[in-house]
Chain A
Amino acid sequence: MKFLLRLGLAAALAVSAFSHAYLYIHGYQHIPMIGTAFLIQASVSFSLAVLIVAGGPWWLDWAAAAMAGGSLVAFALSRTIGLFGFSERGWDPSPHAAVTVAAEVLCVLLWAGGWVRLPRRRPVPA
């Protein structure tokens, strides 16, 4: 169960990383600060995804959730008050914005899912 959760977490993180890398390559590299942030997001997320699948320690999950959560906060800022003077509207660029947000929300949920303890079946007294 734990392994499947981690696999899902890594997959969601990889999707987010891919979207960020794609946008970086196709234009975002030229946006000051945002370009660098996209490059770091993509490369760190890829790295975490690979190491989680490889069976790395628990703190990789925390790092993954932090990366996904941070990206979601940055997304929210870019749609509201702006981030480093950069702002976008709605779900543009489509479909990358929606795909990335979905992947990152899933990532956080799967990380949180790892903390849910299923009730253990108690031995029935004889």
Chain B
Amino acid sequence: MTQDPNTMSRRQLIRHSAWFGAAVGLAVVGGEVISHVAGEEAANRAAARPTLRFAQVSDSHIGFTGAPNPDVAGTFGHAIDQVNNLGYTPDFVIHTGDLTHLSTSDQFDHVKQMLGGVRTPHVFTVPGEHDSVDDAGQKYRSVFGAGTRGDGWYSFDIAGVHVIALVNTLNLKKLGHLGTDQLDFVKKDVAGLSSDTPIVVFSHIPLFAMYPDWGWGTDDATQALSYLSRFASVTCLNGHVHQIFSKTEGNVTFYSGTTTAYPLPHPGDGPAPKPVTLPAGKLHDALGIREVSYTKGQTALALKEATLQ
């Protein structure tokens, strides 16, 4: 008896079935392995979820009028919308100064009202030099000074992080200045903390010498930072310079944030830090907000910069 060449012998059928079975078996095993890895990955991500998340906005200059930004309230409003749409509620939002442009009561009312629209449990502020144009910060403190010490400085603890907000815009000569009272405050404030407590410091003017010729530095910051030298992680966030910049000195990392109002030139680019008018459509790229997160067990804070949308 001869076999039809188009039919399959029993032996061939068994062989093909075996290959098919192997294909199904391997696919199932592969699927199991991938699912298992994916499950572990998801668990790791959940475990590594930040213990603290906050946002920074800065230099809104409410009341400014001019070609560099004809609508500072509009761009600040955009920044607030962006903070409100991060996909999570930040534990707090910090405004690092120059809330207003000329410290008028109307400008303070306006910015206070706008900050009321930020969806977060707490909004913290420090004053910029534009918030104390003619009264050494009295109007600023009457609006934003509740619960602060001295000329508006304060500290608080949140999620295991110690946060210090400093005022270095009063008693300005050329550089920012903290003064003896505030230095004493810092010294006493951190005295009882263990050295592994992460420290976050807010100020308007940089606490590092970013560009002293333009006043972008604080003359007595070294003294304040000496009280923080024993801590494993110190993160200093500032505004004032209207641009992103970072620098690390030992255990301290400094991060200058951008503005929601108008850009300033890069250090040394021109005779003075005057507002820059950008070509049409480019302004939003120079403005932005910053997200900061801290995960317990990690030394460094994670920063994410976002341009204004």
A-side interface residues toward B, CB under 8 Å?
21, 24-26, 29, 39-40, 42-44, 46-48, 50-51, 56-57, 59-60, 63
Does B23 contact A60, Cβ atoms closer than 8 Å?
Answer: yes
Query: Separation in Å of the B286 CB from the closest CB of chain A?
Result: 26
Is the Cβ of B41 less than 8 Å from the Cβ of A26?
yes
Alpha-carbon distance between A40 and B29 when the two chains are bound, in angstroms: 11
Q: What chain A residues lie within 8 Å of B28 (beta carbons)?
A: 43
- CB of B114 closer than 8 Å to a CB of A: no
Whether A29 contacts B27 in the complex (CB less than 8 A), given A39-B35, A43-B34, comes out as: no
Q: How large is the interface on B (under 10, 10 to 19, 20 to 34, 35 or more residues)?
A: 10 to 19
Contacts A44-B27, A47-B26, A50-B26 given; indicate if A21 touches B34 (C-beta within 8 A): yes
**Are B27 and A24 touching (Cβ within 8 A)?**
no
Q: A24-B38, A42-B31, A44-B27 are in contact. List 19 more A-B contacts (CB 8 A).
A: A21-B34, A25-B34, A25-B41, A29-B38, A39-B35, A40-B27, A43-B28, A43-B34, A44-B23, A46-B27, A46-B30, A47-B25, A48-B23, A51-B19, A51-B26, A56-B22, A56-B23, A57-B16, A60-B23
Contact residues, B24-52 vs A (CB, 8 A)? 24-31, 34-35, 37-38, 41-42
Cβ-closest chain B residue relative to A38: B34
A60: chain B residues at CB < 8 Å are 19, 23
Interface of B is mostly: helix
21 cross-chain CB contacts under 8 A: A24-B34, A25-B38, A29-B38, A29-B42, A39-B35, A40-B31, A42-B30, A42-B34, A43-B28, A43-B29, A44-B27, A44-B30, A46-B27, A46-B30, A47-B22, A47-B24, A47-B27, A51-B19, A51-B23, A57-B15, A60-B19
Of all chain B residues, which has the CB nearest A26? Answer: B41
Within the complex, what minimum Cβ distance (angstroms) separates A49 from chain B?
9
The chain A residue with its CB closest to the CB of B26 is: A47
| A59 CA / B8 CA spacing, docked (Å) | 14
Within residues 95 to 134 of chain B, which ones have a CB less than 8 A from any CB in chain A? none
Contact B31 A39 (CB under 8 A): yes
* A47, B22: Cα distance in complex, Å: 8
CA distance A60 to B42 in the complex (A): 33
Cβ of A109 to closest chain B Cβ, rounded Å: 22
For the complex, give the distance between the alpha carbons of A75 and B203 in Å.
Answer: 49
CB-CB under 8 A from B42, the residues of chain A are: 29
Interface string of B219-260 (1 = CB under 8 A from A): 000000000000000000000000000000000000000000
Complex Cα spacing A75 to B100, Å = 50
